Structure 1
């Protein structure tokens, strides 16, 4: 198993609301369709912050999702205060 956690910050609550809607309606379904994607969660961690947790069956599967990650970052950029912070690694579940 392999997990990627992405942290995002937004200028305002309204920006965070719009970003979470975009994640729910468009971006998460695309990422969940990647071969080897196990699950994905978008969490609101504060009024102007969020965290996305993506779980894959392997690092190779997570790397296949990288092409979508670039598109997602570009689509989210208008809402975010800066580039998202991404942490990933092998899961020991």
Structure 2
């Protein structure tokens, strides 16, 4: 069984190397929510990759109807295209 972590702006200065030492092999990193990018996304995904972890990303929509859900999904897709070049071995979570 593999163990991992979920990180976002709430884990400022997270020590990914320590997480690997503690047996964590992957990180699912928050890329954003509704209409903003997570402030620590770049630091968190780069920290996880630098520590040798597999990564995935997640996004938190705040949609109340179909049209706003479409807009959230498009924003999420744009964030991924503009900010990720690494392979997302742990998936994309919406």
Shorter-chain TM-score tier: 0.3 to 0.5
TM-score (norm 2): 0.33
Structure with the bigger RCO (C-alpha within 8 Å, sep 6+) is 1
TM-score (norm 1): 0.34
